[in-house]
Structure 1
Amino acid sequence: MPNYWGEHTSTIDWCESNYAHTPYIAETINTLTNLPSILLGLYGFWSTLSNGLPTRYSICYLGLSLIGVGSFGFHMSLRWEWQLMDELPMIYVVSYAAFLVLETSPGLDFKYGVLGPLIMIAWDVFVTVSYIYLPNPVYHQIAFAFILLTTTARTVYLTLALPKSHPARSKIGSTMAWGIATFALGFAIWNVDNVFCETLRTIREFLGPLGVFVEGHAYWHLMTGYGAFLIFTASVLLHLAIKVSPDAYDFDEKAWFPVVKPVDPAKRRRVKENGRAR
């Protein structure tokens, strides 16, 4: 039976052998390992809204699901249009996170009104148009790395700037560190997959069905999805501690999938009234 998606049109083809399991999915393991990120994002989105947090923070988690959907379609088809649906949302979500972490004035109103969102949108449009006309994966990686490192540096700075007596300082810092470390380890494993692809393919053939456990790019999906979830959770608490109150919200740092919650309903009502949460 011929491959359902035909010849691939993407500018990237990963180390996993194409159509090894079914004619309907180009890279089975790389495709399926996006499902946890999609579900984690939906869980974070639902938890944020159900716990009464400002809607702006739930969008970060929904963005994680959007990236997962795009990556699912990309690895399933290896088509250029799905490659864009994978790579461009990465830029959009991190740009949105950058906007939030740069807008840390007290209260939930935006300090510069619509100017901040307009700058973010202008950046996203510029990267989108330039990448379509210059479809070089290295260009996308540089643009993504630039905004990601800027956002991470700003977040770390804000965390360290909190007073040592701040009730959430160590919790935010440790959760953020675990998220960054998980993200970085996934990136390292992915690069091992790139450098030693032919060797790994030989190992996979030798291992047979167990070869799925040495699909390096799949670990990138799993680890970056989980790492991003932890980073988002720590960032949400950091933002609320700075913009609203240091003691109104909290999360269980021992939980596998921590989400920010109000400390008690009375404080949540106070925060909504004083901060006009939205």
Structure 2
Amino acid sequence: MAPTTASFDQIGYWSPNTASVDWCENNYVVSYYIAEFWNTISSLFIILLGELGLYLCPTKERRFKVAFRTLSIVGIGSTLFHGTLRHKMQLLDELPMIYAATALVFICVETKHGPRGRWFPISLATWLLLTTIFVSITGGKLQFYTFQASFGVLQLAIVYYTTVLHIQQKATVLANGGQNNSTWLIRRAMGVYAFAVTIWLIDLHLCEFVNGVGPNSVLKWNPQFHAWWHVLSISGVYFTTLLIAYQHYVAKGLQPTIYLWKGFAPALTLDAARLQKAAKLN
């Protein structure tokens, strides 16, 4: 977190800060109207990837509409939070992150175990309601670590299910004459996200050494690690969501394959004949 220095205490349009965390970007340095300029600008990339994923999704299933659109909402909330450092805007950033991760857990569980019945989404919705209330009414370190614990549990569940599904489906895909593209996806998803978490932790716990100001900083300029966290983490989440979609389509027998849209953005395509047959059955 940001240390208490004159640089971080600059007054701006949205002052005073009421959020439970102040990241390692010097506040109101670039603009009087934007608390953390680079963190705000980088949040727009989250919106972009969320909408791109929705646009490139090969089917119109509601679960993937929710998954990708919720990522866009995370980007909007992140933009408002870092632009103002206000508590209410922080909730618009953090709560959609929990909702997006929960949507992915729901898809993973149903891909692994099949439809669970109404009790499963109702249980998830109840848990989300209680988490929303608790995160909203608490403040300070309690609020911050409650959110991190909730989000962390969801992330671990996603890692577990995607890994297990990858191992189970690998042989099945090859046996059916398909290409095992999921190895490419899972390596990039976990590799990019692991690196993103590393720089997030540096930004959070070692700010005084990397902020470019103050006597303890070993750098003469701030590398804006949290802004890079936005870019890298949403890239990892995009890869992960694509991996989950891939595993979902494999389970449905649709033979998904990966291609690069416009030569740079990974996306999925499905076997047309199998997709048409599945549509008739539904």
Q: Distance in 2 between matches of 1:194 and 1:90?
A: 18
**Alignment partner of 1:84 out of 85, 91, 115:** 91
Q: Distance in 2 between matches of 1:233 and 1:164?
A: 19
Residue 196 (structure 1) aligned with residue 206 (structure 2) = yes
AA partner of residue 47 (structure 1)? L
Residue 114 (structure 1) aligned with residue 118 (structure 2) = yes
SS at match of 1:260: strand
Contact 1:96 1:120 in 2 (8 A): no
Q: Distance in 2 between matches of 1:112 and 1:198?
A: 48
Contact 1:179 1:231 in 2 (8 A): yes
- Other-structure match for 1:172: 182
Q: Distance in 1 between matches of 2:168 and 2:258?
A: 20
Mind listing any 5+ residue stretches in structure 2 that lack a counterpart? Answer: 1-9
After superposition, residues 135-174 of structure 1 pair within 5 angstroms as 135=139, 136-167=143-174, 170-174=180-184
Q: Distance in 1 between matches of 2:25 and 2:81?
A: 13
Q: Distance in 2 between matches of 1:29 and 1:101?
A: 34
Q: CA deviation digits over 1:167-205, x for unaligned, max 9? A: 467311321221111111111012112233123222699
**Alignment partner of 1:124 out of 128, 139, 150:** 128
Q: Distance in 2 between matches of 1:67 and 1:169?
A: 33
Count of residues paired in the alignment: 264
Q: CA deviation digits over 1:202-255, x for unaligned, max 9? A: 2699988xx46x11111110100101001111110101111x1152x3222795
- Other-structure match for 1:56: 63
**Which deviates the most, 196-205 or 115-124?**
196-205
Query: Aligned in 2, Cα 1:203/1:19: closer, same or farther, shift over 3 Å?
Result: closer
RMSD across aligned positions (CA): 2.5
Q: CA deviation digits over 1:51-101, x for unaligned, max 9? A: 334232122111111111111110000000010011111111111111111
- Other-structure match for 1:263: 271
Residue 183 (structure 1) aligned with residue 168 (structure 2) = no
Deviation (angstroms), 1:22? 0.7
Query: Aligned in 2, Cα 1:246/1:269: closer, same or farther, shift over 3 Å?
Result: closer
Query: Aligned in 2, Cα 1:263/1:203: closer, same or farther, shift over 3 Å?
Result: farther
- Other-structure match for 1:217: 226
AA partner of residue 130 (structure 1)? F
Residue 29 (structure 1) aligned with residue 38 (structure 2) = yes
Q: Distance in 2 between matches of 1:163 and 1:186?
A: 27
SS at match of 1:259: strand
SS at match of 1:20: coil
AA partner of residue 198 (structure 1)? E
- Other-structure match for 1:44: 53
Q: Distance in 2 between matches of 1:161 and 1:14?
A: 40
Q: Distance in 2 between matches of 1:46 and 1:113?
A: 29
AA partner of residue 256 (structure 1)? F
Contact 1:175 1:253 in 2 (8 A): no
- Other-structure match for 1:238: 247
SS at match of 2:88: helix
Query: Aligned in 2, Cα 1:3/1:175: closer, same or farther, shift over 3 Å?
Result: same
Q: Hey, which bits of structure 1, 4+ residues long, moved more than 3 A?
A: 167-170, 203-208, 253-256
Q: TM-score, normalised by structure 1?
A: 0.87
Deviation (angstroms), 1:165? 5.0
Query: Aligned in 2, Cα 1:199/1:112: closer, same or farther, shift over 3 Å?
Result: closer
- Other-structure match for 1:11: 20
Mind listing any 5+ residue stretches in structure 1 that lack a counterpart? Answer: none
Q: Distance in 1 between matches of 2:11 and 2:197?
A: 33
Residue 273 (structure 1) aligned with residue 277 (structure 2) = no
Contact 1:35 1:68 in 2 (8 A): yes
**Which deviates the most, 120-129 or 161-170?**
161-170
Percent of paired sites with the same residue: 25
Q: TM-score, normalised by structure 2?
A: 0.85
